[in-house]
Structure 1
Amino acid sequence: MRVSLFGATGSTGVELLRRLTATATVRCLVRSPEKLPEERRIGDLRQHPAVELIAGSSTDAAAVQEACADAEAVIVSLGGPPRGPGVDVCSTSQRLINEALNSSDGRAARVVCISSIGVGDHYQHCSLFAKFFASWIIPEALADKHLQEEMVRSLKNWVVVRPGGLLDSPGLRAWHAAEDACGFYPTIPRADVAAFVVQECLPPEERWLRRNVALVSRKPQGWFNWKS
């Protein structure tokens, strides 16, 4: 499979790249290729034969067009600051991704957007703690994620994944995936988000096609970092 990955140098993006290299060729649009780590198990990701790096920004139309060319699946794992300059990076980038796919043969590509719990209609399913965090700590960032989700759902084939608070701890392989998944203190390791996306959201899997799915750990633990 040919996969385009946006946000590959982020913590969740690196977890995705680790898993994708086993089953796909991955084209990554990255601003700073040097941020990709050297993996003990699979070697330097910058030199991996299954990885193609394109130096550029997800807010540059030409670079996004190149990154999306011939992709069978596009994974968008972008995140920005909680407020201020750059908080609109997700919606700005998604608009360009949509334009790139709609102007080429990429209309049928599966687009998997990694969003967040508390976005859009999921807010009603959140615990009081999650609602407080969404409404008072990162409202601008989640508002931008909401715009991004709306753009994704205008495409032909899409999946919106809404993970809980992202942890850097090892994966537990014990997640709860449902449209209304949450819990009082909803968290999930990034490794489990990556495993879920690769196993359950990419072609030929269709369970979550054209659906929003929230994803939380069955064993909540630790404090989290909301960024992708």
Structure 2
Amino acid sequence: MRIAIAGGHGKIARHLTRQLSSRGDAVVGIIRNPDHEQDLREDGAEPVVLDLERASIEEVAQVLRGVDAVVFAAGAGPGSGAERKDTVDRGAAVLLADAAEAAGVRRYLMVSSMGADAGGQGIEDKVFAAYQEAKKAADEDLMARDLEWTIVRPGGLSDDPGTGLVHIARHTGRGSIPREDVASVLRTVLDDPTTSGLVFEVISGQQLIATSLRALRD
């Protein structure tokens, strides 16, 4: 497969890139900062420098032509304000979907946020509320499209080594998960077309990823 990952220098994206490239898949990593190009090459990706806050649909579509799937793993990141939560976590995700449609790419994986279906409701922190609203809007935009989408909503993220054991459900309750395991979930979803149309949360648990996904579908 040939997969394009938006936000290619993020920790989840880099784990996913290594997993995919190590088994022979081709990965295109879309990044904003050219200083990160060498990191992506070392991970086994082809870096493409493109600012998804400023790029046109056609510029992004040019990058996506010939890929089998896209993964949105970009984010404004800690320290960014409410405005960038909207321009990146919503706007860039929508742009990637527009470009995927223009390029004829059907498969779209979204790295979302636990609780995104409620948006910013009841959240006192204005920036975090804006982040959740942006994630909700991006998810709803994607769900309304005629694409083969899957939306993955991880719990609290850690840099602990992955265990390969998870709990996947429509709503899992609070919990955390290593970024490496989130990447493994994304890789498993990429390999399984029956996950198209699913929206789920994921935290660490006691089941293998494929088993937990199968239980969700059943």
Q: What is the TM-score of this pair, normalised by structure 1?
A: 0.78
Counterpart position of 2:47: 53
Counterparts in 2 of 1:149-160, with a 5 A limit?
A: 149-153=139-143, 154-160=145-151
Percent identity of equivalent pairs: 24
Q: Does 1:173 align with 2:164?
A: yes
- Deviation beyond 4 Å, 4+ runs, structure 1: none
The 1-side partners of 2:82 and 2:170 are apart by 30
TM-aligned CA deviation for residue 36 of structure 1? 5.8
The 2-side partners of 1:16 and 1:33 are apart by 20
The 2-side partners of 1:5 and 1:92 are apart by 16
Q: CA RMSD in A?
A: 2.3
The 2-side partners of 1:163 and 1:75 are apart by 15
Q: Could you tell me which amino acid in structure 1 is paired with residue 85 of structure 2?
A: V
Kept in 2: contact 1:28–1:67 (CA 8 A): no
Counterpart position of 1:202: 190
How many residues align? The count is 197
Counterpart position of 1:84: 82
Question: Mind listing any 5+ residue stretches in structure 1 that lack a counterpart?
Answer: 39-44, 124-130, 220-228
Kept in 2: contact 1:83–1:141 (CA 8 A): no
TM-aligned CA deviation for residue 95 of structure 1? 2.0
Deviations 1:37-71 (A, max 9, x none): 75xxxxxx4256x5221111122124422222121
- Secondary structure, in 3 states, of the residue corresponding to 2:173? coil
Q: Could you tell me which amino acid in structure 2 is paired with residue 99 of structure 1?
A: D
Q: What is the TM-score of this pair, normalised by structure 2?
A: 0.81
Change (3 A) 1:15 1:47: closer
Counterparts in 2 of 1:23-62, with a 5 A limit?
A: 23=23, 24-35=25-36, 45-46=40-41, 50-59=44-53, 60-61=55-56, 62=58
Counterpart position of 2:215: none
Kept in 2: contact 1:29–1:64 (CA 8 A): no
Question: Mind listing any 5+ residue stretches in structure 2 that lack a counterpart?
Answer: 207-218
Q: Could you tell me which amino acid in structure 1 is paired with residue 154 of structure 2?
A: P
Kept in 1: contact 2:31–2:51 (CA 8 A): yes
The 2-side partners of 1:211 and 1:165 are apart by 20
More helix by share: 2
